[in-house]
Structure 1
Amino acid sequence: MNIEELRDYCIVQRGTTEETPFGPDTLVFKVMGKVFLLVGLDQVEDLTFNVKCDPEYAVELREKYEHTVKPGYHMNKKHWNTVYANRQLTDAELFRLIQHSYDLIVQGLPKKIREELAS
């Protein structure tokens, strides 16, 4: 996976915007104004990104893929993972982690906003 493929996957998710609120080097994807993925634009060799994760699932992933899934860098380590692309996980598995993050954020939105998103 490269950063273009990551962006292409994220940007087509319903209600998604891309922003750079932390400066020009960090691309942030939000659904209805809530962050679901952050990626550094200055990465050259190892592509990494931060995604939200169910806390129990996060621990499971970190144990199973210790060289690929780490506690979220500069994030709440209980709820966020830093994921290294192109290591132990296939692109399909990486996309599932992104989708999991997106879905968690959507589930946490107020009912009215979820209904707006679904229409």
Structure 2
Amino acid sequence: MTPAEVAAYALEFPQAVMENPFGPGLDVYKVEGKIFAILAPRATPPTVSLKCEPNLAVHLRIQHDGVTPGWHLNKKHWNTVRLDGAIPPGQIEEMIEHSYERVVAGLPKLVRLRLR
């Protein structure tokens, strides 16, 4: 996936917004003010950091060389994924969806119901 494809996919989720709270070069995708993806489109190679269930995070790191512990994030709950073409787009989409769902699951029930 290209950074543009990641960005477009992340914005398809209900109430997803993109902000640049850390300045230009890092696109932060949030739902209800909570981060579910951090895209570094200008990095070489581009990367996206995604929230992940801890056991799955370890499994993905073992399965893919392009998945590493979250860069400057809680390495137990975040993975950084290289967007260099090594990981099929469908798998990256699954990781983005999983991240979004993890964040939504932590929101208050009334907010979760509104997002469905």
- TM-score scaled by length of structure 1: 0.92
Question: What is residue 25 of structure 1 aligned with on the other side?
Answer: 25
Q: Which of 100, 103, 119 in structure 1 is aligned with 2:101?
A: 103
Letter in 1 for 2:50: V
Contact (CA 8 Å) 2:37, 2:48: kept in 1 or not? yes
CA distance in 1, matches of 2:12, 2:86: 25
Map of 2:46 onto structure 1: 47
Unaligned ranges ≥5, structure 2: none
Q: Any conservation in 2 of the 1:71–1:82 contact (CA below 8 Å)?
A: yes
Q: Percent identity?
A: 39
Structure 2 distance, partners of 1:17, 1:116, is: 16
- The farther-off stretch of 85-94 and 7-16 is 85-94
Q: Residues 14, 100 of structure 1: CA spacing in aligned structure 2 closer, same or farther, 3 A cutoff?
A: same
Let me know the Cα RMSD of the aligned residues.
Answer: 1.1
Please give the secondary structure, in 2, of the residue aligned with 1:78: coil
Q: Counterparts of 1:60 and 1:4 in 2: how far apart (Å)?
A: 26
Partner amino acid, structure 1, of 2:83: A
Structure 1 spans left out of the alignment, 5+ residues: none
- Per the alignment, residue 83 of structure 2 pairs with 85
CA contact (8 A) 1:71 1:78 kept: yes
Cα displacement (A) at 1:23: 0.8
What is aligned with 2:56? 57
Aligned length: 116
Q: Distance in 1 between matches of 2:84 and 2:91?
A: 11
Deviation at 1:111, TM superposition (A): 0.3
Runs of 4+ in 1 over 2 A off after TM superposition: none
Give the TM-score, by structure 2 length.
Answer: 0.94
The one-letter amino acid paired with 1:27 is D
